[in-house]
Amino acid sequence: MKIVVIGQGAIGLLWYSHLVITKHSPALLCSQRAVITDTNMSLTTYDNQLSVIPLNIINKEQLQLADIVLLCLKAYDILPALKQYQAYLNEKATVILCHNGIIAPSDIHAVLPKQTVLTLLTTHGSKKTDNFAITHTGIGQSQLGKLQQVTKAEHQTPTTILNQALPSVIWQDNIAYHQWIKLAINCVINPITALNNIDNGELLKPQYQALINKICYEITQVAAAENIKLELQQLINNVLKVASITAKNCSSMRADFQQNKATEIEHINGYIVELAKQHQLEVPNNLSLYQQVSQAY
């Protein structure tokens, strides 16, 4: 089983390194803008152990040999990457997308009509400390699924491989529901921590509770219009739980702010704002965060 990881960001290198450690012999395909002078990468594990991992870097022409292709990219890079690599992908390959926010399944299917495409959601924390050096900052879990029905054979192998590499990975038949849960968490944690330059745990302070409640309420209304039922208090509890577990972490959007990089706001609060327009719903708090982040960058 030939596996290729696309993306040399913190999460891409986390999956790549653990696939190497578990003897799955993956390859790594880096972005064109990457400057590659290294032959190894370094992984500092959650318990502060340092591992040196050999890099097996390939070019896009070698993608045709891959059985599983795992894209770990920013949400705004997913569709451009799929369009760039589509011609090189084996029609029988399983493509796994790992990113924040939500991308319309129809947009993905338009680019990859023949391949099996899965969605990977993860709560693992990873921080990039150099070009090919990361620290595993938080132990989480991952969920794998497809927005359309797949056979057991189509998902059993990738689920098993990913679970061996970085457990736990659970197959979810209703991945859309879990995407919305993660979207809500991102809609709260990412913009507020970025705009206020705070660690995730600061959101547990009373001063943020009213805003968190309002953001989550708006998301439940938009989700309901999309036939996704989210229970408000449970959603709020999920957000606060993640903020607590990742209390000392820097959110990805805050890191983007610090590095003066583009954010994923269009696919997070921007996604809620766009759907709200389609359903003629008011989402003033999500809109405000979307506008503030968009104007700040």
* β partners of residue 3: 68
Residue pLDDT, tens place only, 36-62: 778 999 999 999 999 999 999 999 999
CA 176 to mean position of chain CA atoms? 14
Q: Output the CA torsion sign for 135, 138, 139, 140.
A: negative
pLDDT-derived band at 243, boundaries 50, 70, 90: very high
Q: What CATH class is the domain 178-292?
A: mainly alpha
CB 139 within 8 A of CB 46: yes
Residue 215's pLDDT is: 98
Q: Is 265 exposed, middle or buried (0-12, 13-18, 19+ CB in 10 A)?
A: buried
Full-model pTM: 0.93
Instruction: Give 126-161 as a DSSP string.
Output: EEEEETTEEEEEE---EEEE-SS---HHHHHHHHHH
Catalytic choice (146, 182, 214, 248): 182
Residue pLDDT, tens place only, 276-287: 999 999 999 999
Domain ranges of the chain: 3-173, 178-292
Q: Tokens 């972490």 correspond to what residue?
A: 249
Mean per-residue pLDDT, 263-267: 97
Alpha helix (H) ranges present in 29-104? 75-85
Residue pLDDT, tens place only, 86-129: 999 999 999 999 999 999 999 999 999 999 999 999 989 899 99
Residue 150's pLDDT is: 62
Report the distance separating Cα 271 and Cα 285, nearest Å: 13
- In 10 A of CB 167, how many CB atoms? 13
pLDDT-derived band at 151, boundaries 50, 70, 90: low
Residue 154's pLDDT is: 66
* Architecture of the 3-173 domain: 3-Layer(aba) Sandwich (3.40)
pLDDT-derived band at 138, boundaries 50, 70, 90: confident
Residue 31's pLDDT is: 85
CB 147 within 8 A of CB 175: yes
Phi, psi of 242 (to 5 degrees): -65, -40
Q: Tokens 């390939």 correspond to what residue?
A: 58
Minimal CA–CA distance to 255: which of 295, 205, 198? Answer: 198
182 counts as catalytic: yes
Most confidently modeled of 28-42, 148-162, 275-289? 275-289
